[in-house]
Amino acid sequence: MTGGTPRVVVIGAGLAGLTAADQLCAAGLEVEVVEARARVGGRLLTVESESPGGGWFDLGATWHWGGQPEVAALADGLGLTRFPQFDGGAALHDDPGRAPRRIETGDALGPAAFRLDGGCQALARRLADRLPAECVSLGVSASAVEASGSAVAVTVASTDGPASMPAADFVVVAVPPRLALEGIAFDPPLPGELVDVMAATPTWMADAVKCVVIYDRPFWRDAGLSGSAFSHAGPLHEVHDASAPPGTPAALWGLLSADPALRDIEPGGRVGLVLAQLERLFGREATKLVDYFERDWSSDPSTKELHDPGVGPLDYGHPVFRRPFLDGRLLWAGAETDDVAGGHMEGAVRSGRRAAEQVLARSG
């Protein structure tokens, strides 16, 4: 140990990293979180519309499900209100060259899906707010992790250039495994088995482009539609109701097809294509938008994978992520590392708690 209160550096201020930091701080450890983005939340991103009706809309993670107790308990503990995804009506199936077909199965999401009043990023914001002052450093990316003797050193980079942080007893890596492999130099080198698994574990949302179209009312409900559509015609391959609980502010959100021709179009040029599809699905009123948002996660350097690993992909939650490395000082968190709810907010919370418990078990 470095002496005195155990010190932990958490790399990544997404839901997993902040969950770990929250639990460690509550146990009395000294914690510093470094985050490459200029905000907390990672792939939780909520935006507010400046249209007359206002409203908040998720451009990243949107849902959690019944049977996912950790994220539900966290939301409740942070004073956030959960509400069910609207599913009152038929979904649509959209094939090329055919009129959309109704599917009388509601939102077709399987088990009940829930959303958060105020958006999912509120989870991260409230977790960060209850951490000690100056615990989270934004715009700071980790570039190296070096274990030596009884301590581990983290080198970071910011607008001020590279710098070494004070020695820590533990480091929790809470960024996607492939991105950690691409962006962080580990000394001593990580074992080959771990490197292979990191390279083969896909990054959740790495190729996602999410669009939100905002309206003055949820007109699709008038026709007995849930707002959900599943399309092989595109440009959106999936659409859902994104309205606030009363129905206003009203919105539809969709995920853009992976077609490279669509990805190469400037965001402003995609709006017309998106609206044309929504008109085909829901009628002419779908062209009467009041606001539009889009997030291309594949252009986000903290989400985009820089290289094709040429292997995998493996399922999320490989057992190797539950094993500490570098003499027990390096631990893993993140939605990709959870074996029960990998790729979900539930998995992020579970992994953050797991990493914190591993640190506490070794620091006693």
pLDDT exceeds 90 at position 46:
yes
Q: What is the pLDDT of residue 108?
A: 55
Hey, what domains does the chain have and what are their CATH numbers? Answer: 7-41+123-204+304-363 (3.50.50.60), 46-119+207-299 (3.90.660.10)
pLDDT tens, residue by residue, 261-274? 777 887 778 899 99
Q: What is the pLDDT of residue 362?
A: 94
Q: What is the pLDDT of residue 269?
A: 81
pLDDT exceeds 60 at position 69:
yes
Q: What is the pLDDT of residue 123?
A: 98
Whether 202 contacts 192, CB under 8 Å = no
Q: What is the pLDDT of residue 87?
A: 86
pLDDT tens, residue by residue, 288-311? 999 999 999 988 989 987 666 656
Q: What is the pLDDT of residue 70?
A: 97
pLDDT exceeds 80 at position 277:
yes
Mapping DSSP onto H, E and C, the string for the chain reads CCCCCCEEEEECCEHHHHHHHHHHHHCCCEEEEEECCCCCECCCCEEECCCCCCCEEECCCCCEECCCHHHHHHHHHCCCCEEECCCCCEEEEECCCCCCEEECCCCCCCCCEEEECCCCHHHHHHHHHCCCCCCEEECCEEEEEEEECCEEEEEEEECCEEEECCCECEEEECCCHHHHHHHCEEECCCCHHHHHHHHHCCCCCCCCEEEEEEECCCHHHHHCEEEEEEECCCCEEEEEECCCCCCCCEEEEEEECCCHHHHCCCHHHHHHHHHHHHHHHHCHHHHCCCEEEEEEHHHCCCCCCCCCCCCCCCCCCCHHHHCCECCCCEEECCHHHCCCCCCCHHHHHHHHHHHHHHHHHHHC
Q: What average pLDDT does the segment 169-179 reach?
A: 97
Percent of the chain with pLDDT over 90: 78
pLDDT exceeds 90 at position 185:
yes
Predicted structure pTM score = 0.95
| 312 pLDDT tier (thresholds 50, 70, 90) | low
Q: What is the pLDDT of residue 1?
A: 61
Q: What average pLDDT does the segment 193-219 reach?
A: 94
Q: What is the pLDDT of residue 97?
A: 87
